[in-house]
Amino acid sequence: MKKAIITDQIDMDFDKAVFQAYKWGFQYLEIHSLWGKTIENLTHDEVDRMAQTINKYHLRVSCLSTTLFLMCPLYHNMLSLEKFSDSFLTYDDTYENHLNKLEWCIEIGKRIDAECIRIFPFRIEKEGVPYRAIQLISDIADKLAKPVQIAEKNQIPLVVENCPFSYLPRGTMTFHLTSVMKNNYLRLLWDVGNSYRSMEFDWVKEYSDAPLVDEYEIIKSHLFNIHIKDFEHKNGKYHLSVLGNGDIPYQEIFKRMKTDQYTKYLSLEPELDRDGIQQSIDFVNQLIG
C-alpha cells in the first residue's frame, strides 16, 4: 500500500507542510486546503506554486481532496445547508457551480498528476433525512451521473468519501452507490473513523450495522483510497485519539489489507497536534512498514 498524509494536517502553509512530510519519509501527499483556501478556490498562480513545491521534493499526489458535492443541496437550496466546522474549509455553492469547479479541479489534478479527485455524497439538509437509504442512494446516483461522465472524459477517477455530515456516512453506503453506478471512474474513499462515528445513528443502523472489519471485506473491491484516524467512545461522545490508542481495530484491518495485497492509498488524517501525528505515524510504520 502507498502511504500518504493530508498536508493541512501538518500545516496550512503548504511549503512547510510538504517539507515536513518529506522529512517524515512520505512519498505521497493528499491535498485538501492550503494557504487558508480550499483547493477549489486556488488561482492559476497558486497552482503553479503548489506544483513547484511538490516537484522540489520529488513527491507525488495521491488525491486532490476537494469538497465538491458536500456543501451542495441535493433536494432543496443553499439555505438548507448548515455549516458544520470552521476548521474544515469547504466550497459552498449550487450544483451547477460545483460542476464548473469540478472542471477546474480536474485541470489542477492534471497539472500536479493527482491520482484521483475526492467528492462527497451531499450534506444532510436542515430538513433532515427524507428517505430510507435505498432512495437516497438512487437520488445521489442521479446527481453524480454528470460528474462521473466528466471524470471519465478526462480519465481521472473520482473517489466518494463516506462522511457523517452527509447522506452516506458509512462505507457500506458509498459502496452501494458505486455498485449502482457501475463505472470505474467512481471509486471509494473509505474514511474508517467516519464509519465508526456513524454507528450511533439509528437511520444508518437500519441500513447496516456491520463491524468495521466486516465493512472492509464488503467494500474492498471498490477501494481506491483510505483515510485513517482513531476515536475513543466515552460517555456518549467520540474523542480523537492517537492511532492505535482508540477503539478502531486497525491491527485487524491492516492485517486483512496485507493479506489482500492492497496496493492503493492509505492517507493519515489524525486531526491531532504535531506530537499526536508523529505517534500515529509511528503506529502505522510499525504495522505496515
Helix (H, G, I), strand (E, B) or coil at 274: helix
Could you give phi then psi for residue 188, rounded to 5 degrees?
A: -105, 135
Hey, what amino acid is at 182?
K
Give the end-to-end CA distance of the chain in Å, rounded to a whole number. 10
pLDDT, tens digit, for every residue of 151-162?
A: 999 999 999 999
pLDDT, tens digit, for every residue of 249-271?
A: 999 999 999 999 999 999 999 99
Domains in the chain (CATH in brackets) are: 2-219 (3.20.20.150)
Query: How would residue 87 be classed by pLDDT, with cut points 50, 70 and 90?
Result: confident
Three cell numbers at 263?
496496493
- Percent of the chain at pLDDT exceeding 70: 100
For helices 44-56 and 95-111, what crossing angle results, to 10°? 40
pLDDT recorded at residue 288: 84
